[in-house]
Structure 1
Amino acid sequence: MFLKTCSLLFRILLVCPLALGKQDIFLESSNGSYLRDPVDTTNSQWNPAASFAAVAALLGVAPPSFTDRETSDQVEKLLVPNPFSRPKIVFTLEVEGANEGDFKAPSAASEIANGLRYHAKQTPDASSGDMDKIASLFSSSAGSNERTHEHLAMDCAHDKSLEAYLHGVAELKKGSYIPAAEPMQGELALGGDGSTKTLNLNRTASERQVGFEAACLAKKAESLWPSESPRFITGKLSGLAAVQEEHGPQSEEVTAASQLMVAALQQVFGNAASANDGDMVSQLSLLGKSTDRHTSVGGQEGARRKILQSEENSRDAKIWMSTFMAISVGFFLTVLLLISICCMFDMDVKEDTLLYGNSKKDS
């Protein structure tokens, strides 16, 4: 009985998303008019539904889930009552694998939001499903032909100009980028915390991924310019989670990757806020990762990937087996048909044969 109970608890810890947690940071420029001045910037508990309700209110759409009194009070303390004015751009970005030690508010939040007005809130739920519903409501609501929902895809892998952006991001952390013979395969040296941390983009796929995401994010910031029609921009980064999974949550590579991502986010939100002159509100969601669960079972994301890979391999094996069986049966039936035809040519014409063939024997 005891072993069964332990096994059940282990499975719950493996799949439970609440173990991850989430930190939400709302940002706008200092001359913006949509966020209240924060009373304090410490990690305060935040209802998960309040983030979705706040984004929905900024977009001018009804929140997809019910809003209770607690959620309404939290949104009211966050947003300035301004029913006749909406920001031109609402930008939401999720960062998977954000380690609490590197992204813990207020230190990381104040660094990312350097010179900006911001609120940092801690939530126990890492769910992001409602944001997709908000995007759907935003695109299908009245006047949707004048609204655009854009997904910030990290599709810059073949962009030869990325290294220039990587130089700029590294300089924010008092570091440098040493290029290699091949583009985007050099070494980053970051010294923001007093000690130099290195990230070799040619060493592992995860380090290369987080380098691409940082440079691509800095390049994508150039597209966050104001427009006449409202824009809802969403994005997701998973490079940090990949580095944690490959090297472990306490490794030097994770520390360097976290510093690089903080610098990239600082550059993005700073440049975007300046370009939009107070007409943009951003929400940054930092999804943490359970250290104990990572070291014991490889993390929820790692387990999910292994399961998906196992299912894909099983599906491929079934396809090959079905193809082999179909070819084998077809070959066997073809051989039988040829043998039958040969046997028919060698048959003697007898009275019984003509009788079953509806023919009459000549007399």
Structure 2
Amino acid sequence: MEFRVCSVLSLFIIFFLISPRARSEDSGSVFFIDGTGHQFLRERSPDHEVEKPSLLLQEVGAAVSILLGFSPSSSLSAAGSSKLDEILVPNPFKRPRAVLLLEVNGIDDRQIAQYNEMFSNAFRSTHILGSDKVDIQFRDEDDVSVLLLDEPSKDCTEKEISAFASMMGGSYASNTQEPLNGVLTIPLANGAMVNLHMSKKSEREYVVALLSLVRNVERAIQMHDDLSQSTRNPAELLMGCFSGIKALQEQDGAESIVQDGVELLLVTLTKILGSLQEAYKGQIVGVIYSHSRTTQELSKTLDFVFSSHNAARLLAEDKALNVSLAEVVFVRRTLAWVTGLILLISTLIGICYLLNMPLTRDTLLYSNVKLD
């Protein structure tokens, strides 16, 4: 009896130790959405849905670097290069130099592909391995312009909510007695309607996060217009992390509202990508990385960093010499006079030798034309 109990406990301990590792290895899916009219990604094979190749987070970051027109990290393995070759067009002169990199927390891969046609037709890679944070490295701040899409926003106005509702084909019924406590109604792709009550904390946080994302994308489009009129031509990275689904998951009985929130987010992302494609004239690729974990379990996994320049090596005194300024001036003047005298004496000796040189053919000056 004791042996059976010990065996069961041992198996339970082994399973407990292994299961977190297994969960950390599979950390979501990534969707590559090509530009309109410009093929920056390879055509998908008919077996793509069956293959569903796995990628490392480092390889996702390397793909973003390549799309921006930069060389990937030197730590990229040969196997990783082969995987990226199956996704990206090999022509180095055909890069969009603009990428929308958005990390979405709390969404399962099946939820995205099931409810949205654009994502279901995108180049999808499941089983993203690795849970450690990955930094996309850039050499110079002048080479790439980075705009963060997850800048915090305290709140929103009813005017912004109404404008967002109109953009999505919905409506906003404001509360005349209590401002910002109305009901936002948005139609979904399947014909259903989702009602978000601003009076509920979780739904309000979700709407604020969604409006912040839209607002930051509009700011990115304005920045792109400014850069297109300037002499600079940097690559553009629009980068952010959306965590609004986490707020809905904390609500009691949140299954239905979370599903509606996921569908509304996907419809909003479709609108956002359409606006970006129009503003960038198709010269932009969307990279959406989704995973079911929340920010409470894991912070933002994809970030960027600028590598510092190699500072010029300058000669400097290791230790200060205990000498006066007059002594330093005396030594320098002495070296200058001695060097000048040596050059003067050498010049005079050279002139004397030239003046007294015999004028015969059998000299070094005429050795090349010596006949006998």
State the TM-score, normalizing by the size of structure 2: 0.64
Change (3 A) 1:4 1:91: same
1:179-225 Cα offsets, whole Å, 9 max, x none, are 33455432233443344443223213x22121112222222222333
- Aligned partners of 1:26 and 1:119 also within 8 Å: yes
Aligned to 2:247: 242
Q: 2:12 matched to 1:6?
A: yes
Aligned to 1:264: 268
- Aligned partners of 1:185 and 1:200 also within 8 Å: yes
User: What amino acid is the match of 2:67?
Assistant: L
Number of matched residues? 278
- Aligned partners of 1:166 and 1:214 also within 8 Å: no
Q: 2:40 matched to 1:31?
A: no
Q: How many angstroms apart in 2 are the aligned matches of 1:71 and 1:155?
A: 35
Aligned to 1:96: 105
**Matching residue within 203, 215, 219 for 2:215:** 219
SS at match of 1:127: coil
1:1-40 Cα offsets, whole Å, 9 max, x none, are 4346535644654676437631211123221242223335
Change (3 A) 1:169 1:12: farther
Counterparts in 2 of 1:43-192, with a 5 A limit?
Answer: 44-48=52-56, 49-64=58-73, 66-103=75-112, 105=113, 107-111=114-118, 118-125=122-129, 127=131, 129-130=133-134, 133-134=135-136, 137-138=137-138, 141=139, 143-160=140-157, 161-168=159-166, 170-171=168-169, 175-181=170-176, 182=178, 184-192=180-188
SS at match of 1:73: helix
- Aligned partners of 1:166 and 1:177 also within 8 Å: no
- Aligned partners of 1:217 and 1:264 also within 8 Å: no
Unmatched tracts of structure 1, length 5 or more:
290-299, 306-363
Unmatched tracts of structure 2, length 5 or more:
1-5, 228-232, 300-372
SS at match of 2:100: strand
1:142-175 Cα offsets, whole Å, 9 max, x none, are x53242222222433344242134304542xxx5
1:80-100 Cα offsets, whole Å, 9 max, x none, are 123235423222000100134
- Aligned partners of 2:67 and 2:97 also within 8 Å: no
- Aligned partners of 1:20 and 1:287 also within 8 Å: no
- The higher radius of gyration belongs to 2
Aligned to 1:292: none
- Aligned partners of 1:197 and 1:255 also within 8 Å: no
Q: CA RMSD in A?
A: 3.1
Q: How many angstroms apart in 2 are the aligned matches of 1:304 and 1:70?
A: 27
Change (3 A) 1:264 1:128: farther
After TM superposition, the structure 1 stretch with the greater mean CA deviation from structure 2, 71-80 or 17-26, is 17-26
Change (3 A) 1:42 1:177: farther
State the TM-score, normalizing by the size of structure 1: 0.66
